[in-house]
Amino acid sequence: MTMNATSAVDAFVEETGFGNWFLRTMTWKVHVLNRALNDLQTLLPPGARYDRVLDVGCGFGHSFAELSKRFSPQLIVGMDMDPDLQRRAGAEARACASPVELHAGNASRMPWPDNHFDMVFCHQTFHHIVAQEEAMAEFFRVLKPGGVLLFAESTRKYIHSLPIRVLFRHPMDVQRTAPEYIAMVRRAGFELPDARVSLPYLWWSRPDLGFLEWIGRPLPADREETLVNAVAVKP
């Protein structure tokens, strides 16, 4: 089926029941969310403050406490396409040390004015978005000059793997490789030197779930990357 421009922007692929359960586990919080933030922090320009943070695809709100602890923002805006966002993330928003506002909406068409946020955090969300070029343009628009995009994403290699196809639900025809994601960020106008790109090969993103490394086999040097983390700056 061919989507027109409007329906593509509005398209939303609902997660499976298993996927929603997994997003509430300690494995997700520790090995996916926290490890991504740890990596992204090492790539950030030194000395900047991030008073206003937009968390795109905030899901159940597990990132709020981590963003508050790491960056001490004056406001976190949690955005998610799920219309039940208040119920899903309300408790985490109320418990957060920083003020949190929740907004149910589409990342491809945001309501905020230009130059509004100091940071956009997009973690394991972009592979759910159908209108990816439009969403990236919105990230660029709502960031202030000098603001940063923290981008952490699974690539096509991982999303197209059999376990992920079986257990989760994604718009499969829009998935990208790591070089394609990096190129898209740069094409939107962001400054993204190679030094602010990381390509972790974490155990949960591999076909063997880390078993070969556990028994002493080296990681393959010649591989298609499964994850990309990047810190991009709006000039």
pLDDT surpasses 80 at 23: no
More confident call, 232 vs 205: 232
Pick the CATH number of 26-42+50-105+120-211 from 3.30.230.30, 3.40.50.150, 3.40.50.300, 1.10.10.10: 3.40.50.150
Nearest to 100 by CA among 88, 92, 110: 92
Q: Note whether 153 and 232 are within 8 A (CB).
A: no
Q: Note whether 80 and 129 are within 8 A (CB).
A: no
Q: With left for phi above 0 and alpha for psi between -120 and 50, is residue 84 left, alpha or beta?
A: alpha
Distance of CA 171 to the CA centre of its chain: 15
Q: Which helix (H) or strand (E) holds 156?
A: helix 156-159
- Angle, helices 63-71 vs 85-95, to 10°: value is 40
Backbone angles phi, psi at 108, to 5 degrees: -80, -10
- Amino acid 3: pLDDT: 35
pTM: 0.88
Looking at residues 24-40, what average pLDDT do you find? Answer: 87
pLDDT surpasses 80 at 208: no
The pLDDT tens digits of the residues spanning 84-132 come to 899 999 999 999 999 999 999 999 999 999 999 999 999 999 988 999 9
Q: Note whether 227 and 152 are within 8 A (CB).
A: yes
pLDDT surpasses 90 at 16: no
Query: 22, exposed or middle or buried, with CB in 10 Å at 0-12, 13-18, 19+?
Result: middle
d(CA 129, CA 107): 8
pLDDT surpasses 90 at 234: yes
- Amino acid 210: pLDDT: 55
pLDDT surpasses 90 at 28: no
